[in-house]
Amino acid sequence: MKYFEIKVAGLKKEEKLYTFLKQNGFSEHYLKQLRNIKDAIKVNDKTENINVVINNDDIIQIASNPFKATEIELINKPLDIVYEDDYFLLVNKPPMLATMPSRSHYKNNLAGMVCNYMKDKDENYTLRVFNRLDREACGLILISKNAVVHQKVKDIEKEYYAICHGTIKEEITVKEPILTIVNNGINEMKRVCSPLGQSAETTFIPIKNFNNKTLLKVKIFKGRTHQIRLHASHISHPLIGDKLYGIPDDYSHTYLCLKKISFHFDITKQDYSFEINLSPEFENVLKNS
């Protein structure tokens, strides 16, 4: 069993471990799992339970991943790893690859590739992604290596790039709620803008105009499924290649890329920021302008 270690400090009086962990951002779900696993909690190298009383300078060790391993089809394909350390795996997902398995993408998805990569590093690895991308989109996906890490990442900011039809000269912010249509208990793939939907906000910032197209920097708030694609279509500037919300064109997939991701990590008390280049496909469209 792998452990995450904490040295207790800052207590004004002795305190139960449960209260200490709860105040330090650990979820009830995580703490419940600790209760159910033998030797999941140690204080000063002695096995304890979640209600043990702790003091300053105590050394706490808690299971870093007290959950069942993710059981999905392993896919032996290489990952495009942008960054890796003991806490994170940051990968660049290519277009036309599903992030998670589904009936139609059971044997070809990023999740299966990540679990295959991690199987020799942690036999009990549980997959946790901080963000997902549509199958057609490309770009950065941040993945935690254990359950503790997943609870200690804060203030994630994402910056997308996209190419849309038409010319946009000035920054546009769209604040249209997004509604998922449900038929017979099953979500339809296509979403709609509706006052009955969930709040969503998207800002489109033009970077370059060319050939009746615009390269956009895009920032989202209250991220929803298909938010950027739907909001772009809503302002009559659908993304090129978007077969669901767009117009007929010669592009094989939606041109949308998560180019930059930033976040704060409570464990190291550091801010992280990563950015990738646009894919060759993006660059080819821009070069041929």
Catalytic site positions: 134
- Tokens 């400090």: give the residue: 9
- Could you give the CA distance from residue 247 to residue 102 in angstroms, rounded to a whole number? 27
Q: How many residues does the chain have?
A: 289
Q: How far is CA 27 from its chain centroid?
A: 18
> Could you give the CA distance from residue 196 to residue 180 in angstroms, rounded to a whole number?
9
For 136, the enclosing helix (H) or strand (E) is none
- CA-closest candidate to residue 226, choices 133, 128, 161: 133
From residue 213, alpha-carbon distances to 137, 162, 266 in Å are 18, 10, 41
Residues 6+ apart with CB under 8 A from 266: 25, 152, 153, 154
**Sequential DSSP letters for 267-278:** TTTEEEEEE-PP
**Which residues fall within 8 angstroms of residue 216, CB to CB, at 6 or more apart?**
161, 162, 163, 164, 168, 204, 205, 206, 207
Helices (H), 196-237: 227-234
